[in-house]
Structure 1
Amino acid sequence: MTVREAQLVVAQREFVAEGVVALTLRHPLGEELPHWRPGAHIDVVLGPGRERQYSLCGDPADRRAWRIAVLREPHGRGGSSYLHERVGAGDRIRVRGPRQHFALTPAPRYRFVAGGIGITPILPMLAAAQAAGARWTLLYGGRTRESMAFVAELSRYGDRVTIAPQDESGPLDLDSVLRGIPEGTLVYCCGPGPLLDAMEERCPAGSLHVERFRPKTREHSAEGEFEVVLARSGRTLTVPADASVLDTVRGAGVEVLFSCAEGTCGTCETDVLEGIPDHRDTVLTDAERAAGESMLICVSRCRGKRLVLDL
C-alpha cells in the first residue's frame, strides 16, 4: 500500500467550538492534494512516535485544501495540546495519507449519529448524501452547544439535523432515531465508545457503520506463540505470547509504518497471504475480518501456528 507523505502549511486556524480548533492545510507551492472521499483521515506526524489521526472534514472537491478539527484533550497523549498551543497559521506540519477505513456506502437512505468531535467524519458524508439525492437525518449530541463544532455550518440542512446538547435535552434518544428504519437504510455513527456500544446494541446486523477513537474490548482466543513468515524476504520469525506481530517484525529490523498501536487507526494494516488472523482491531468490518485478507499487526494475532504476511 503506497502511503503519501508531505509537508503542508497551515493556511488558516480558527476555533469552531469551545476547545476545538480547525486547521486548513495547503501545499506550500499551491499544488493539488491527493483525492479523498468522505470518512477518510490523515496522520499528523508531530515527531518520532508521535502520530495522531484526524478525519478530513472539508470539501473533497477542493483539491487545494484539507481541513481537520482537533479537540483539545487535557488528559490525552499530548498531540491535541501541541496542535492547539504550538501550531499556528503559516507553520508547516508533516502528514501522511489520506487513509480510508470509514467509507460511505451508496444507499437510498441514511441515519447519521455523531457525538462530540465525532461530527468530523460525518460532516462530508452529509454533503455527499445530499448531493446524491439520498434521504437522511443527523442526530448530533455533545456536552453543551458551545462545545459542539460546526453547528452553524450544519444549519443549512434545516430540520434534517437535530442538535441535542446534553445540558439542554439530556442523553441522546437513540431509540427514536432508530425506530422504524426502512429496509435498506444505512446507519453511520462516530463518537465516544459508550455511544458506539449503545448503537451496536440497537442496530440490525449489517446496517451500522462506526469509527472508534479508542479500542473496544473483545473476547479473544487463547494467547500463545506462533510463526510469521515475511514473504518478501522469506524470513521466519517467532511471535512470543507477550509480544505483538508489530513488535516482533520491528525488532527484527523490518521497517513498518504504524501509529496508534491500539488497532484503531489502520496504519499498520498488512496483507495476509496464508494463515488465519485472530482479529483484535476496531477498524476492519466483519466482512473484512471473515475474508482474512489483511490484518492490523499491532494488535491482531494468529488462530493457528503460522501466518505468511506481505512484508
Structure 2
Amino acid sequence: MPSSALIQVQVQHKTRLADDIVGLQLQATDGSALPAFSAGAHIDLHLPNGQIRQYSLANDPQVSAFYELGILLDPTSRGGSCCVHQDIQAGDQLHISQPRNLFALVPAPRYRLFAGGIGITPILSMAHQLYAQGAEFELHYCARSRSRAAYVERLQAAAFAERVHLYFDDEPASARMDAAALLATPDQSHVYICGPSGFIRHLTSTAAQQGWSSEQVHYEQFAAPTRSSDNSASDNSASDNSSSDRAFEIQLVSSGQVISVAANESAADALTRAGVAVALSCEQGICGSCLLPIVDGEPDHRDYFQTQTERAANSHFTPCCSRAKSRRLVINR
C-alpha cells in the first residue's frame, strides 16, 4: 500500500478517559493488521464534517490490531475535537492516513519523558516502546487534577509503573513537579516533552538553564501557542507580524510559474488556488506536513515545527503560516 493511501477503519470503542477527554480505538474494517508505527507517531483522522486533524497514537507500538487515540475537547476548537466528542460513535467508519513520525525516539543511554495534560498520548506510547526494548527511562506526568488526567489507571497498572511519577495542580505543593530538580544534572539522557505550550516552555527553558544541549531536548505541541510581543528565547515561533503582512511572489522551479500571494492570504491558499497541491493538516505551523524546499529567497518563518538552526538555514518553509521577507521565494516544486 503506498504511503499516501488512506486506510478505512471502524471505531471499535469510544470511551471517556477523563474530564473532556475521550479515547477512540480504531481497527481496520477488513480485520487486517494496521501498518506498523514507532512511538511518537501520529495519524491524520478524516472527520465526518470534512476536516482533517492530527492525533498521536497512544498505544503500544507492538500492537498492530488497533490504533488508540486520546482526544481533548478544545473550547477554542474550529470543529475538530468537537466533532470527535459529539458526532463520532462506536461503529462509525472513518478514514485515516498512514502513520507518520516527527517526534521519534533517538538512540540514547536513558530517557526522561515529560507529559502535560493530553500530551500523555505520545509519551505513553514511548514508555511502552522503551520498556519493551529494555531501555532506562522515567516518566513524569502533570495534569490539573486526577479527573483531568488520561490513562492514570493504566499507568499505575503498567509493568513500568515504578518509573511513573504523577503530579496534580490541585494537590499539595510539595507533591508538584520540580523541573529544576529533575533536570539539575545534565547527563547523556534525552528529554522528551509533550503538552501545552507553557508546559513546554517551562521545561525547555529550565533544561537550557541547567546546561542541557538543545540536541538532547525534544518536544511536540498540539496547538500553536498564543502569540505575544514577549516571545521568550525558548519559543520556537517568530513574532506575530500579521498587522504588517505584505504581498509577495512564489516561483515554481519546475515550470517557472510565478504565483502572487496577497497580503491577506496564506502562501498555502495561493498555491492551492493556482492548482499546486499542498499537504495541509494542522494549518498552524506545528506538524510540518506542508514543509516546502526553498531554492532562493528569504522566508519569514512563523512556524513552531523547525528548530532555530533549521530556520536559520532558510532551506524550507511552511506555507500554511509563514511568509516571505524577500519579494519572491523560489521553491522546488
Q: Does the Cα contact within 8 Å between 1:230 and 1:310 map onto a contact in 2? A: yes
Alignment match, 2:316: 294
Q: Which residue of 2 aligns with 1:305?
A: 327
Question: Could you tell me which residue of structure 1 aligns to residue 292 of structure 2?
Answer: 270
Deviation at 1:49, TM superposition (A): 5.6
Alpha-carbon shift at residue 47 of structure 1 (Å): 4.8
Is 1:203 the counterpart of 2:207? The answer is yes
**Aligned equivalents of 2:310, 2:87: Cα separation in 1:** 39
| Number of aligned residue pairs | 310
Q: Is the 8 A contact 2:120 2:195 kept in 1?
A: yes
Cα contact 1:101–1:283 (8 A) shared by 2: no
User: Identity of paired residues, percent?
Assistant: 37
Letter in 2 for 1:101: L
TM-score scaled to structure 2, two decimals? 0.84
Q: Which runs of 5+ in 2 are unaligned?
A: 228-236
By how many angstroms is 1:45 displaced? 1.7
More off after superposition, 216-225 vs 168-177: 216-225
Indicate conservation of the 8 Å contact 1:49/1:259, yes or no. Answer: no
* 1:26 shift after superposition: 1.2
| Stretch deviating more after TM superposition (250-259 or 51-60) | 250-259
Q: CA deviation at 1:276?
A: 4.2
Q: Deviations over 1:122-159 (max 9, x none)?
A: 11111222233332211111111122111122122233
SS of corresponding position for 1:137? strand
Amino acid at match of 1:161: V
Task: Identify which range, 167-176 or 285-294, moves more after superposition.
Answer: 285-294
1:235 aligns with 2:257: yes
Letter of the structure 1 residue corresponding to residue 112 of structure 2: R
1:173 pairs, out of 173, 178, 182, with: 178
Please state how far the C-alpha of 1:2 moved relative to its aligned partner.
Answer: 4.9
Which structure features the higher share of strand residues?
Answer: 1
Q: Distance in 1 between matches of 2:136 and 2:69?
A: 26
Work out whether 1:213 is the aligned partner of 2:222: yes
2:309 and 2:32 map into 1 onto residues whose CA distance is: 37
Q: Distance in 1 between matches of 2:319 and 2:289?
A: 10
* Contiguous gaps of at least 5 residues in structure 1: none
- 1:158 lines up with 2:161 in the alignment: yes
Q: Quote how far apart the aligned CAs of 1:278 are.
A: 3.1
Q: Which residue of 2 aligns with 1:92?
A: 93
- What is the root-mean-square deviation in Å for CA atoms of aligned residues? 2.4
Q: Is the 8 A contact 2:285 2:318 kept in 1?
A: yes
Contact 2:61 2:128 in 1 (8 A): no
Residues 137-194 of structure 1: per-residue CA shift (max 9 Å, x gap): 1111111112211112212223311111111144532112211132x21111111111
Cα deviation digits, residues 81-103 of structure 1 (max 9, x gap): 22122222211112223222211
Deviates more, 1:276-285 or 1:61-70: 276-285
Q: Scaled by the length of structure 1, what TM-score is found?
A: 0.90
